[in-house]
Amino acid sequence: MYWPGWFIFLSPLIGAPIALAVGKRYKSLAGIIASLAVGGALVASIITFFYVDAGTVVSNSSKLYVITGQYAYNHYLWFFNIDIGIFIDRLSIMMALMVSFVSLMIHLFALYYMKNDPNKHVYFAETSLFTAGMLGLVVASNLVVFFLFWELVGLCSYLLIGFWFFKPNATAAAKKAFIVTRVGDLLFLVGMAILYDSLVGFPGLGSNSPLSIPFLINNASLIASYIGKNTLGIVAVLFLAGAAGKSAQFPLHVWIPDAMEGPTTVSALIHAATMVTAGVYLVARVFNIFYAAAPFALYSVVILGAFTAVFAGIIGIFVNDIKRILAYSTISQIGYMFAAIGLGGLFGYAAVPLGMFHLVVHAVFKALLFMAAGAILIALMDLRDTREMGGLWRKMPMTVTLLFIGSLALIAFPGTAGYFSKDSIISASWLYYTHYGTAWSFIPWIFLATGTLLTTLYTFRMFFRVSLGKPRSHLAEHAKDPSVWALIPLFILAAGALLLGLIQTPFYKFITPEAFVPSVPIYIEAIPITLLAIGLIVTYVLYGTDRWRHMDFNKNRLYRLAKNKFYLDTLFTNIIAERVIAPVSGGIASFENAYNNAVDKTGSGTLSLGSFFRKLQDGVVENYFVVLIIGISIVFIIMLLAGLM
């Protein structure tokens, strides 16, 4: 048994109840215990990284992922033919390193952010459990265990989004997140059920569990031949639906903006280290299933991601809440990751490092952005409207400089880590188009390139409103930086946001030797940079000055459409939920109540009949004699009438 691999998720899992128990008496210790537990997961991940890295990976001509080199695979029979255990290869260890490291940075900052909260011991217990759920999902060896940790992540997100339950918006947001993600989870579960049922008689199954992740990776092509590429494609699309729900992709993205009602450190944890990255990891983990299936499976991934990147970017331009702007940026950037993996229809498993590198880089700069926003919100007493800020670069120079670094990485400014991770995806999408040469293959590139302009517009619209000009509220006038000690995790993340691009090629090659940095003509490579420059100029002209305060687009239909988030919340709530689901649920409930009442009446009738006969058994011999005479008389009368006497 490889114990360090188990401790990757056991450390925060054990730390959660300890933080809760000890924190009830010594509240200040809860955060320290949770941070040490997550730090233990990071140490275990580092040890496992060196263990995995010691193996030699063999190149292969297949575009499928082939498990080679050194990896940790411990599994034990749980029930029937479902096993439980860990499977840690190069993909999962990179994910575990990211989750544990970024989560640790967030926990350390939360020691400052949550220091005055009376229930901080509950908070730290839940965040430790949240991290354990995500890490358990990452190292799971079987899709059933994967799904259990997947659900634990969903439960913890519900608890943390609604942590400030005394706020009606927070409780409503928690319920919304839980319900919307259940839609995706149900579809994921259906996909697992179809796959399991299809593989029960598979000749190559042997002693393997049908849902064993290594088994699925190694036998994807044989499985496709056995159950049919279209059937496997349906399974893959159902998996994608589950991933879309968890990772807030269109149309199941509607929960994540409302999730900003929780503590800002929770937002950082959800957007950077845990929940929304789980869906991307699922598609990357079972990439062979997608690749071996019918072509529509991976094309669905690339189109969904590319469309969501643009869709969320458009909405982000019209949002004023600083945390919600960052939320829509997450939806958009996750779309880039999905699109990158979807390009595997051409590049095979070599596309996975493209998406995973952007996932890691995004985790770093998004945690930085959210925690910088959290420091601002503390100074402004939770004022989140960017229209009421202004001039904060002079008032909070350290915090806003950190926000600036995160913003540069988010827009993929040349030289930052975001540039190396995101522009490589855009370049790869151009190669995808030149290979196939169809209008359908052109869609990903045009969407992803346009996303560069949109990202710049919403990011620096936010930044210029926050940082430049004069303070536009009393709170902004009196804002000040937190202590340097509180910002140390942010300084570390800022360094990563600037420098992680240096490890792009080593990262790619670590995941698979077939990976490569896409190369396109210079005029194509210049297009995203040109769009970025246009976005910076436009946002500075409009929002670096007071011009934006004199703009009124309320009469513009397109503005109202985007401002109202394309009315998807209205569609889901007022039409689907209230006019479809509620009446259907009401009808089912009425039928169920009628059925239950009928059953109850049957039971009560039986009881009444029994009570009647019980009264006949009163122990009085005279009464028994009367009943006997009456019974005999009735029998004789019947016989006389029937002519039997």
Cα–Cα nearest to 47, from 104, 6, 76: 6
Q: Determine if the pTM surpasses 0.75.
A: yes
Calculate the alpha carbon distances from 536 to 316, 321, 326, 402 in Å.
16, 20, 17, 18
| Helix ranges restricted to H, 200-274 | 213-218, 220-227, 229-246, 255-258, 264-268
**Residue 338 burial (CB count, 10 A):** 29
Residue 621 lies in a domain: yes
- Angle value at C-alpha 186, between 76 and 352, nearest 5 degrees: 70
Q: Give the pLDDT score at 618.
A: 66
Asked if residue 228 is part of any domain, the answer here is: no
The confidence score (pLDDT) of residue 574 equals 85
- Distance, in Å, from the CA atom of 269 to the CA atom of 162, rounded to the nearest integer, reads 14
Cα–Cα distance between 301 and 304 in angstroms, integer?
5
Contacts of 595 (CB under 8 A, 6+ apart): none
Q: Are 49 and 76 in contact (CB under 8 A)?
A: no
229-246 vs 220-227: helix crossing angle, rounded to 10: 120
Residue 614's domain spans which residues? 570-641
Residue 604 is assigned to a structural domain of this protein: yes
pLDDT value at residue 616: 64
Q: Kindly report the backbone phi and psi dihedral angles of residue 73, in degrees, each rounded to the nearest multiple of 5, phi listed first.
A: -140, 100
At 598, phi and psi to the nearest 5? -65, -45
With CA atoms as reference, report the closest residue to 341 among 272, 290, 296.
290
Examine residue 631 and state whether it is found in any structural domain, yes or no.
yes
> Has residue 627 been placed in a domain?
yes
In a domain, 362, yes or no: no
Measured distance CA(234)–CA(253) in Å, rounded: 22
Q: Is 226 exposed, middle or buried (0-12, 13-18, 19+ CB in 10 A)?
A: middle
| Total domain count, the chain | 1
**Confidence at residue 629, expressed as pLDDT on a 0 to 100 scale:** 84
The whole-angstrom separation of Cα 184 and Cα 631 is 67
Signed CA dihedral, 510, 503, 417, 327: sign only? positive
10-residue stretch averages of pLDDT, the chain, 645 residues long: 94 96 93 97 96 84 86 90 93 97 97 93 96 97 96 96 93 94 96 94 87 95 95 97 95 93 94 93 97 96 97 95 96 97 95 97 97 96 93 95 97 97 97 95 97 97 94 93 95 97 96 94 96 96 87 81 88 86 89 89 82 70 75 82 69
> For residue 255, is it within any domain?
no
If 0-12 CB within 10 Å is exposed, 13-18 middle and 19+ buried, where does residue 207 land?
A: exposed
Residue 635 forms part of a structural domain = yes
The structure tokens listed for 159 are 């608890």
